[in-house]
Amino acid sequence: MKDTYRKAMEIWEVPEVFYEAAIPMYRDHEAELAVRFGRDPVSGQEICRLLREWGKEEAERLLFESYQRNVLEKCQDDISKETFYRMTDFYSRYPYFAQYEPEAYGEFTQETVDRLNEWDLKVYMDRTAQAALAIAAGQDVPMHQTQYLTLQESFDMMDTLGEELIILPCNCKAMGRCTEKPVNVCINKLVKGPNTPYDRKLGTILTLEETKKLIRRINKKGLMQSGENNVLCNCDGVYCYPTKMARILGTRLHYPTSHYETLWDEDLCVQCGKCTRICNFEAFYKDEAGKVKFDPEKCWGCTICSANCPKGAISLKKRVTEPGSDLTENR
């Protein structure tokens, strides 16, 4: 490995075990910029000047591509309000590589991907597990994907976000190389400003009506709606980091919070098996005789089964919660 890259890896905070894996995620001039400036802010003009000095044509394009790929992020001087750029770390860069450079990511061996994701999940949990546990204990703390939403609640949430929304690839599914379910499913309020997908020219802008149709389609494919504020995630039971973390922490029903109890009327069930195909937790399953069964102890209360039962055999009952207490069910 070139000495420049080795120094850059330290600046990007790449674990040494991933030095070789990280090389395809960066370009030579980005490593040189990292060594030159470290993580200090630097103006776009200075970056472009150096790129030209190094014989790089279209310096402005290269600068934007580094920003678009989240090798660089924008920051603002508190006094002058001038915009500068600075290097991100490896933890910030890796998901962008998986999301937006899938062909290059596809060159990685599965063993490398598994090791990267094991490390990435650990960092994620180091940063978020305490907040998840606080939410599970009934505390109101800032966090993402804190609750499951019904299909109608998801539509209602979209109504508050404006007439245009932006759809992005799910970082969890992209990093996990998901192929069995849709990946382009993260829905965000369209926000314009530094370091937003819009400013980086990423994602797809959809109308409100197009977004609701997308939610309905992916709900039918077994993706669970969760979120709050300006983001709606459409999660699964295999790749989703909050779900993985919740399994490790043992916070089923509490984080992500379930607001509804799932009720199954066996007499109304026509044994179509759709619930068994879309359930992310095997709460609905088929027994040895091929009959649909329901195990409420495995249910996470995500609600997608009720929206997809053709005969109304699956219904929801609102749970009752009291501030600071465990989540209880209204029976």
Query: Can you give the CATH number for the domain in which 298 is found?
Result: 3.30.70.20
- Residue 53 β-bridge partners: none
Share of the chain above pLDDT 90, in %: 90
DSSP code for 42: B
Residues 42 and 15 in one domain: yes
Residue with tokens 């919740």: 246
197 shares a domain with 166? yes
Say how many domains are in the chain.
Answer: 3
What does pLDDT average to over the chain? 94
Bridge partner residues of 328 (DSSP): 320
Q: What is the predicted pLDDT for the residue at 73?
A: 98
State the pLDDT at residue 330: 34
Do residues 289 and 180 share a domain? no
Residues 94 and 157 in one domain: no
Is residue 38 in some structural domain?
yes
Q: What is the DSSP letter of 320?
A: B
Q: Are residues 245 and 264 in the same domain?
A: no
Predicted confidence at residue 206, as pLDDT, reads 97
CA distances from residue 34 to 29, 31, 118 in whole angstroms, order as listed: 9, 5, 26
> Degrees (nearest 5) of the Cα angle 46, 13, 98?
90
- Same structural domain, 210 and 265: no
Q: Are 165 and 188 in contact (CB under 8 A)?
A: yes
Q: State whether 17 and 51 are in the same domain.
A: yes
CA distance 167 to 181: 16
Supply the pLDDT for residue 273: 95
Identify whether 106 is part of a domain. no
Chain segment 55-108, per-residue pLDDT in tens: 998 999 999 999 999 999 999 887 777 999 999 999 999 999 999 999 999 999
Task: Decide if pLDDT at 16 tops 90.
Answer: yes
Q: Which residue has the tokens 């070789």?
A: 20
| Residue 295 belongs to domain spanning | 260-318
Q: Phi, psi (5° rounding) for residue 14?
A: -85, 125
131 and 201, same domain (yes or no): yes
- Asked if residue 123 belongs to a domain, the reply is yes
Question: Are 172 and 157 contacting, i.e. CB atoms less than 8 angstroms apart?
Answer: no
Compute φ and ψ for 329, nearest 5 degrees.
Answer: -105, 140
**Pair (12, 78) in one structural domain:** yes
Length of the chain measured in residues: 331
Query: Is the pLDDT assigned to residue 327 strictly greater than 50?
Result: no
Is 60 exceeded by the pLDDT of residue 172? yes
Rg (CA), the chain: 23
Enumerate residues 6+ apart whose C-beta is below 8 A from 297. Answer: none
Taking CA atoms, 113 is separated from 117, 172, 296, in Å, by: 6, 12, 34
> Quick one: 243 and 289 in the same domain?
no
pTM of the model: 0.92
Cβ(150)–Cβ(307) below 8 Å:
yes
Q: What is the pLDDT of residues 293-317, one digit of tens each?
A: 999 999 999 999 999 999 999 999 9
- Residue 325 is predicted with a pLDDT of 47
The answer, yes or no, to whether residue 278 has pLDDT greater than 60, is yes
